[in-house]
């Protein structure tokens, strides 16, 4: 029998080699067809007396990315359609479908013949769960090999035996840490935890796997043998008593109860380890069925997997424009941002010309890459030769003539229109006519900057976030005259450096900064109202934000907030900024000299390490303080999320962002908007436009016009629409240009 996704060969020793190699896919994934074929293979080798054992490996550079998430979406779509007719029947069908993979892996485990997984590259999710069901596991000794159960990152959890096999192979503390964080494991780490048995030279991977079978590998899982004992002891033991109460508390501290999948993992492990293995699998299946129905899972799967994947693949890239193969890229300005852009560009293997006003300044910018790579080498994440190779790609200079031949130039000079004008003109004088010029401005409209260009069609914004090496989002800003080629080249660059691009039409603050400034502004209002600073920061974290708004202000600099406010007043008039908020920031900067983290004092004090930052005690003296019991803590959380979501809705109404995927993914990647909601627009969709508008009106009545719902939301509430219905990203044609 022939298979579409696998080949099956039996050698002279009776060892079957299954090679997983899906046609026309860059990576193997579990689909319905794959599982049907694997099931047929399991039955075939189990029934064939000539087969003494089985090795399963991949014919690709990676082993497998796990389950095809679209398969899960199909299951959920079927459930959603059927539950209206018969909820019990639909739930039962979802339960049985969710258990198919579990049953398949258990069939491997109890086949009576030894199976060995030969892991030759990335092995994620369901693929690692399958490997754990094999009786032996061998991983190649390669930097390309990473094993993980990362499902919790998209709102679900390892539901094909992962929560049961991992804590039966390693101690419960390590198991919980791995399962609730989705952390990647190197072969060495996985072996130390007892999750794999051997590490082999890549060329001898299959040979080593076969040797395990020849050497008498038992075709029985440890937990299926009489007398099996859990590593580290049972749940009801001294070790268990020391682990579980703090584990529950730590989960609460880290997630604030916002991530049902993480809580379900603890329940699966705790309950599962108290019962026989097959019963434990049913417990896991029950919780997985429950989590699959949660709105958190639906939102996170959509935004953090499907939408993110689509955007990374260039869903918004103009069609018909040839891909750009970059031979040379110029960076104007070797300050912190420019140096960071040079680093990620060189890391992608692209030669960089890093230009500044003089050679020492440019060399200082290159030294930033030296420092980052030295840190990577120190941590074992890079080799000395990797550092040398990257640094060889960066050419510091003060001569604009060295930009000749660049396919793209990214300007990251001081945020001053005059300085940017001079840099643009000098660069264009030596660039080829087809070269694209991009500005990394964070405040000045691209259309205004494009007036400095002799070829505005080739002028675009590429807005990075700090620190560049860590922040995964990049805003691509369209000016009024930006052409498709410039947009396509910008996309190709952002994808080449492995960042996620979103397309934004031109406006003050673009998308991300408009939302972030609302977040900070609401915190300033709370301070002025007398809300204790600690309550503001804690409410933000409890709402799902990774960093409180006051801490975020410190990171971006309090004096920068002052500059933005003053510039806004100059451009839009006195009424554009709340005078009370202006007074607060002026007091922080001018009276107390508190500029933020950069001078070790802002809303927080930053003592020398290892001491941790703490809120500045003087904050309570700036305004009369409300007693904590007089503050509605839930309302604080609501205000912080709603103000951001309203701004995201306004951005959509104005046509600044036109694709809800970009608004959602952008809000999560740029400033960590409560990931469990799926992003700023999914937050509204999850609540429902009608209910959200009611909440906004209540807040507007109490706290002011910034909570006024835009006409778009009022219309959506009346029609019962969601953003993904109103702005269906899969019905779009060409990317909309700025009006």
Per-residue pLDDT tens for 143-176?
Answer: 899 999 999 999 999 999 999 999 999 999 999 9
What secondary structure letter does DSSP report for 306? I
Q: What is the 3-state secondary structure (H, E, C) of 226-295?
A: CCCCCCCCCCCCHHHHHHHHHHHHHHHHHHCCCCHHHHHHHHHHHHHCCCCHHHHHHHHHHHHHHHHCCH
Mind listing the pLDDT tens digit for each residue in 326-360? Answer: 999 999 999 999 999 999 999 999 999 999 999 99
Answer whether CATH 1.10.20.10 is correct for domain 329-509: no
Write down the pLDDT at residue 421. 94
Query: Do the domains at 6-293 and 329-509 have one common CATH topology?
Result: no
pLDDT at 444: 84
The pLDDT of residue 572 is 87
CB pairs under 8 A, 24+ apart, for 387-395?
390/343, 390/346, 390/347, 391/346, 391/366, 393/346, 393/349, 393/350, 393/351, 393/352, 394/342, 394/343, 394/346, 394/352, 394/354, 394/366, 394/369, 395/351, 395/352, 395/353, 395/354
pLDDT tens digits along 551-578: 999 998 999 899 889 988 988 899 999 9
Q: Residue 431 has what pLDDT?
A: 96
pLDDT at residue 443, as a whole number: 76
Residue 286 has pLDDT above 90, yes or no: yes
Mean pLDDT on 262-282? 97
In b/e form, how buried is each residue of 599-627, taking b as 16+ CB within 10 angstroms? eebbbbbbeeeeeebebbeebeebeebee
pTM to 2 decimals? Answer: 0.92
pLDDT at 734: 38
pLDDT at 732: 55
Helices 277-292/162-169 angle, 10° precision: 130
- The confidence score (pLDDT) of residue 735 equals 41
> Domain 513-726 has what CATH class?
mainly alpha
% the chain with pLDDT above 70: 99
- For 88, 143, 204, 261, 402, the CA distances from 146, given in Å and listed in that order, are 40, 8, 18, 23, 40
The percent of residues in the chain predicted with pLDDT above 90, rounded, is: 90
Q: What are the residue boundaries of the structural domains of the chain, listed by start? A: 6-293, 329-509, 513-726
Buried b (16+ CB within 10 A) or exposed e, 208-224: bbbbbbeeebebebbbe
Per-residue b or e along 504-530, where b marks 16 or more CB atoms closer than 10 Å to that residue's CB = bbbbebbbbbbbbbbbbbbbbbbbeee
> Could you give the residue numbers annotated as active site?
463
Classify domain 6-293 at the CATH topology level: 2-enoyl-CoA Hydratase; Chain A, domain 1 (3.90.226)
* Amino acid 380: pLDDT: 86
Strand-strand pairing, 15-20 and 500-505: unpaired
**CA 231 centroid distance within chain:** 33
């Amino acid at each position: 029998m022939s298979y579409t996704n696998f080949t099956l060969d039996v050698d002279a020793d009776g060892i079957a080699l299954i090679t997983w190699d899906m046609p026309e896919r860059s990576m193997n994934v579990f689909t319905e067809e794959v599982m049907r074929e694997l099931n047929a293979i399991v039955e075939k080798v189990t029934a064939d007396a000539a087969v003494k054992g089985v090795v399963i490996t991949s014919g690709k550079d990676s082993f497998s990315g796990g389950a095809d998430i679209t398969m899960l979406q199909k299951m959920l779509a079927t459930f959603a359609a059927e539950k209206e007719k018969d909820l019990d029947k639909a739930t039962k069908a979802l339960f049985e479908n969710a258990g198919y993979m579990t049953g398949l892996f258990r069939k491997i485990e109890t086949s009576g013949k030894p199976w060995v997984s030969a892991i030759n590259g990335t092995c994620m999710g369901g693929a690692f769960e399958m490997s754990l069901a094999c009786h032996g596991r061998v991983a190649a000794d390669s930097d390309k090999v990473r094993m993980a159960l990362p499902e919790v990152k998209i709102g679900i959890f390892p539901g094909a035996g992962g929560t049961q096999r991992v804590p039966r192979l390693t101690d419960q503390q390590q198991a919980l840490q791995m399962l609730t964080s989705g952390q990647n494991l190197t072969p060495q780490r996985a072996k130390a935890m007892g999750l794999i048995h051997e590490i082999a030279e890549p060329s001898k991977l299959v040979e080593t796997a076969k040797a395990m079978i020849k050497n008498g590998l038992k075709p029985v899982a440890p937990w299926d043998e009489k007398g099996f004992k859990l590593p580290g002891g049972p749940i009801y033991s001294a070790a268990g008593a020391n682990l579980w109460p703090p584990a529950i508390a730590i989960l609460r501290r880290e997630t604030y109860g916002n991530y049902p999948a993480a809580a379900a993992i603890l329940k699966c492990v705790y309950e599962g380890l108290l019962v026989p293995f097959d019963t434990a699998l049913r417990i896991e299946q029950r919780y997985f069925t429950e989590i699959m129905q949660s709105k958190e899972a639906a939102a996170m799967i959509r935004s953090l997997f499907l939408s993110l994947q689509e955007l990374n693949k260039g869903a918004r890239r103009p069609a018909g424009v040839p891909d750009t193969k970059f031979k040379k890229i110029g960076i104007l300005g070797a300050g912190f941002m420019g140096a960071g852009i040079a680093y990620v560009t060189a890391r992608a293997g692209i030669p960089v010309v890093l230009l500044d006003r003089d050679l020492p300044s440019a060399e200082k910018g290159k030294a930033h890459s030296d420092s980052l790579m030295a840190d990577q080498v120190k941590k074992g994440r890079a080799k000395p030769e990797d550092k040398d190779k990257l640094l060889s790609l960066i050419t510091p200079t003060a001569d604009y003539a060295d930009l000749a031949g660049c396919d793209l130039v990214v300007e990251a000079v001081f945020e001053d229109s005059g300085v940017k004008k001079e840099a643009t003109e000098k660069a264009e004088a030596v660039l080829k006519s087809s070269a694209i010029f991009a500005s990394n401005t964070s405040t000045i409209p691209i259309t205004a900057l494009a007036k400095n260009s002799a070829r505005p069609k080739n002028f675009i914004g590429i807005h990075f976030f700090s620190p560049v090496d860590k922040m995964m989002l990049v805003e691509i800003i369209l000016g009024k005259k930006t052409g498709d080629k410039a947009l396509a080249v910008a996309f190709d660059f952002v994808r080449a450096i492995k960042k996620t691009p979103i397309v934004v039409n031109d406006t003050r603050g673009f998308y991300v900064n408009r939302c972030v400034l609302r977040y900070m502004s609401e915190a300033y209002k709370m301070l002025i109202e007398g809300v204790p600073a600690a309550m503001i920061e804690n409410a933000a974290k409890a709402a799902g934000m990774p960093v409180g708004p006051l801490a975020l202000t410190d990171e971006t600099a309090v004096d920068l907030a002052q500059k933005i406010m003053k510039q806004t007043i100059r451009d839009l008039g006195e009424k554009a900024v709340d005078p009370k908020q202006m007074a607060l920031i002026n007091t922080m900067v001018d009276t107390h000299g508190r500029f933020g983290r950069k001078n070790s004092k802002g809303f927080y004090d930053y003592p020398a390490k290892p001491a941790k930052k703490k809120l500045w005690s003087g904050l309570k003296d700036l305004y009369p303080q409300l007693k904590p019991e007089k503050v509605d803590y839930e309302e604080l959380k609501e205000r912080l999320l709603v103000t951001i979501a309203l701004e995201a809705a306004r951005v959509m109404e104005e046509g600044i962002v036109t694709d809800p995927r970009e608004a959602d993914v952008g809000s999560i990647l740029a400033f960590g908007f409560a990931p469990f909601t799926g992003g700023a627009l999914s937050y509204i969709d999850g609540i429902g436009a009608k209910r959200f508008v009611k909440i906004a009106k209540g807040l507007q009545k109490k706290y002011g016009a910034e909570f006024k719902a835009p006409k778009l939301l009022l219309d959506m509430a009346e029609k019962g629409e969601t953003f993904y219905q109103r702005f269906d990203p899969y019905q779009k044609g060409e990317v909309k240009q700025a009006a």
